[in-house]
Structure 1
């Protein structure tokens, strides 16, 4: 797997009901699931998107809840973790090696938004195969299309992530009293945006938007299959539409796509 420092390379769903989650997302996004019962791989239209981690009673008793968390590529996990701690972030899971997968750690930014940092081990038979979990270059159904950080302190977040990963601000959209929606550029592509945390969000957090073929059909599916729709489809720059919601177990996610 060929990646670059600061790229999103994997998305992980932590859930209390793996079987129900597989049924929900396979119908919504066309995903297929395979692998070990303790960790399921998620495949979309053009390759792997991430994994599904069933939460054990021990995990939930320790505070884990259904959620989506992203992995960001780094050249040196231990050095990155030390920098994160020095800048006010926290370590939720110390750095560890996973055979044939890579070295990783789960951390938070200084405002508490969790994410993983990872240096992946490329597949032996496909060492140059890129990660397209985040479809940065072209639309891919079922793949992540946008990464959005809602932060208690967007200015501090820019300093933190810019210094850590080399992300830069590339324009913004004025949301009036809600503040500015500021776009993230990394190299030659847009990653997503940083915005102030909205009152309805309990904590600073990342949100991930997966691509669908029909946003209205997806909204109807969520409501008809036990999920929660937070808002009706909203037009975004470029003419597509987005929605936010949660799956039946409570993990929040976003979708983006056209209106048919």
Structure 2
């Protein structure tokens, strides 16, 4: 597969904040075939890069519990001017959780809260230019925001990140807007107000590609994961929702083998 062409505003990176990095590494290595490199402690705080077939697909970092946030996967959007995007977010109903900061030799990052309350990262390319594999088994295949405030959230991503959106569905049962349209879509926003349990905040969800959803569920459970939503067939493939051993939620999507 070619290296992803990541446009400004689109998801470019994911990472896991985990209270048990060693256990998480073992889990995802067994599940997705990942290998790892740990960054310099002084420069990068021991940030771990995950690789699939030698190409970077995700990061892992220690959740020390100081923030009060549970273990979770984070999604980062590519930006070209992180200061102006952060300023725009603050003036369009967002919150700045982490102000723009330099990651030595790699780029610049920030963390925001959108109007629906979901955290989203910003990444301005430097030496690190995002994931190098996408839409394949063992790599991210889709990025989806479950929001409690759908209209304000859609407008926020349009205004702040310049999203050119397409309304995929607009019924009371299923409201869904995508960044881009059809096969070119890069992310989605779902109105989750009707089904998010009380106390569960809006959040970005990561889908990982797998060769066989049912076999992956079985393996994840054997490795200490938990099943949140059983595998089911959808118009977009067979999917399931799981948590890893420390409770971080992720989704899997059975991918079709590449045409020979």
TM-score, normalising length from structure 2? 0.86
1:167 aligns with 2:172: no
What is the SS of the residue equivalent to 2:22?
helix
Counterparts of 2:197 and 2:132, CA distance in 1: 28
- State the shift of 1:102 in Å: 0.8
Change (3 A) 1:49 1:99: same
Change (3 A) 1:68 1:228: same
Counterparts of 1:100 and 1:187, CA distance in 2: 36
1:52 aligns with 2:52: no
Counterparts of 1:236 and 1:45, CA distance in 2: 28
Q: Which position in structure 2 is the counterpart of 1:14? A: 17
2:239 alignment partner, one of 242, 247, 250 = 242
1:221 alignment partner, one of 219, 222, 237 = 219
- State the shift of 1:134 in Å: 6.4
User: Tell me, which stretches of 5 or more residues in structure 2 are unaligned?
Assistant: none
Q: Which position in structure 2 is the counterpart of 1:43? A: 51
Change (3 A) 1:189 1:241: same
Change (3 A) 1:171 1:134: farther
2:189 alignment partner, one of 194, 199, 203 = 194
CA RMSD of aligned residues (A): 2.5
Change (3 A) 1:109 1:33: same
**Is residue 11–residue 133 contact of structure 1 (8 Å, CA) maintained in 2?**
no
Q: Work out the number of aligned pairs and report it.
A: 246
Counterparts of 2:104 and 2:118, CA distance in 1: 27
- State the shift of 1:9 in Å: 1.3
- State the shift of 1:170 in Å: 2.7
2:119 alignment partner, one of 92, 114, 127 = 114
Change (3 A) 1:147 1:84: same
Q: Which position in structure 2 is the counterpart of 1:127? A: none
- State the shift of 1:153 in Å: 1.5
1:68 aligns with 2:73: yes
Change (3 A) 1:258 1:62: closer
